[in-house]
Chains A and B, each alone.
Chain A
């Protein structure tokens, strides 16, 4: 265990701010502003205070304006564009606000694509502004030219190539509207260099309007009533809840509805925190690495109430045998999610919080007797569930001489009193976090769910830390994922964002190794990454503090020391090398094929 105190955390760019230039007030703008000025003005009007970005040739005009507006909008200079987008995701997902990114053309845009696709899969509101070569060079294979609109088209809600600066204000307004309305997601605005330099006649933003409305529709009374009656009559129901709980702010509504009818709740990975994990009604996560009880309950259920979920294959396994006896009520804001993988008995397009509140209000009109009767008819269901929970709880074998990864997460939970905001990459460590860190509130876990992006955790933590300065933010990462974006420690140092990084270091690409062990006859093909830097020294080289635990008796002290360190701390926890995540439902199988250990 080693530590280093010198931490240039607060050595930030602000010291170098030059006050020669006046900043642009939102109500003061030049008579014939440039496209860049209009852009900044429009961003300020949207309430943007934070931008993550990386400059380059095509966005020089914009960066010039951004410097003048630096007292209104703080720009965070990252070390790689992927980091910028993940930071914006962390910022957006920890607060519910729209994350904003600014990158240059060509490689700037392509580096951002992973983050954009990640945000698209996990329904995260982002506006990503990319520079583009000047209009007259578009299509000529110009320096740093790439068809950004074409490349990002399949992974955005919408994107724009702005051909005239007079459209910019309207484009920005609509982009923000699209990013946060309905099912949130990323929107890309591609701005050619000459458009950001173009002077336009521009008066006020208030007059900007656009004809495209939010397609959100409220639940009708009749189907809502039918849904409630189906729930009341169900003998073996499960509430299957996902990221939609977070996005619609339905945490409290879910809790009170589930408690009112004593309904079992199982969150997806994206739904963790949407319902308190330690609540007696919570069965734990379902799906590939879900709990035995949750998966068995879904398999045996007669009613699945799917709220803000999309029946991902990591949840359902083989569709044909997923919840075979269950009727399905599916509530989602995105009509295309309904019926995509599973045809529901009762499809309800709408906002999840609104729907839950409607169900709850209707339930209260039923009278105490009807509710009591409904609760009573599920008593044997609860007995069955308790049986599954007792027979196969989450468990793992302890060890005297090796640190078990599951113990690390439990220790982290203890040391943080369950209060930390956790971000993760993807893989084994992510599943152990999902299993062994009970989340109690929405937005407490920020993880790469749909896309499964290694390298997400650290930059996402930085973005969240920046939004929530007083919150303890811990990035739990693997040694593989950490090395994909570890350069962002420099960003955290530059802006004094005291994130804690906990590396679950097993020298392997652990999840891939597990699959090779279980399904490919232990052929460990290209998963050994034990040739790695000394992460403590690496942390120190960046100016962060580094700590390492190699033996079980060091674990507690290292975690305490890392968490208590005032600045950025990297905890390198060397864990048992060949630990597997259990239970596991093999891909394309179902709950009955679950391997528990």
Chain B
């Protein structure tokens, strides 16, 4: 099963490679990974999408928790959460029906055109994995020449966040 792990780790040099190294050394798979600062800039939040049965995921969580600079590992998949991914896609869009088709897909998927030339467009799409995947699938027959995806970020829904006092979340 697919799991999204949210790892809070000190924003220090080398900490990301510790996490990534642990995954490769122990044979865990990383489907996507994304990193950014958390609310408290001394801590980064790493979001990793991985696959495995419950025991594997438990092992991953525990192994990550052993790292000295990891403060918290959350399997966000176990609770209501929001997941987003962004993709930048270069697609063929010659003037005429091809460009119209791309634009109509962009509008259906609430994507954005961020660059355009005589023959191509770069479109920006965001949403959950399924949405971005589907958008991409529909663009492919038109002629996709380049893709870059951010990997997932995730956050727990507000209802469950109420249980956690704000101060703890800030980590001060």
Contact = CB atoms under 8 A, between A and B. Distances in A.
B77 to A, nearest CB: 19
Interface stretch (B44-52, B63-71, B81-89, B141-149): B63-71
Given A157-B68, A178-B68, A340 B59 contact: yes
Contacts of A212: 68-69
A356 to B, nearest CB: 23
B14 A149 contact: yes
A338 B68 CA distance: 19
B55 A161 contact: no
Interface stretch (B17-25, B108-116, B151-159): B17-25
B150 interface: no
Contact of B66 (A150, A154, A161, A334): A334
Interface in A180-210: none
B55 A343 contact: yes
B62 interface: yes
Contacts of A154: 21-22, 25
Interface in A133-174: 149-150, 153-154, 157-158, 161
Contact of A153 (B21, B58, B66, B69): B21
Contacts of B22: 154
A154 B59 CA distance: 16
A158 B68 CA distance: 6
Contacts of A450: none
B68 A153 contact: no
A335 interface: yes
A584 B68 CA distance: 39
Contacts of B66: 157, 334-336
Interface string A312-338: 000000000000000000000011101
Using C-beta atoms within 8 Å of the partner chain, give the interface range for chain A.
10 to 19
A178 B22 CA distance: 18
Given A336-B66, A339-B58, A161 B17 contact: no
Contacts, number: 36
B14 A161 contact: yes
Interface string A205-228: 000000010010000000000000
A158 B69 CA distance: 9
Nearest to A210: B68
Contacts of B59: 336, 339-340
Contacts of B67: 158
B27 interface: no
B96 interface: no
Contact of B17 (A150, A178, A336, A343): A150
B31 to A, nearest CB: 22
B165 interface: no
A241 to B, nearest CB: 22
A153 B18 contact: yes
Nearest to B70: A212
A584 to B, nearest CB: 28
B63 to A, nearest CB: 5
Greatest chain B CB density within 10 A among A336, A338, A339, A343 is at A336
A339 B68 contact: no
Given A158-B68, A212-B69, 6 more contacts: A150-B17, A153-B17, A215-B65, A334-B66, A339-B59, A339-B62
Return the 10 tightest CB-CB contacts between A and B, nearest first. A336-B62, A158-B68, A154-B25, A335-B62, A336-B63, A336-B66, A153-B21, A178-B68, A340-B59, A154-B21
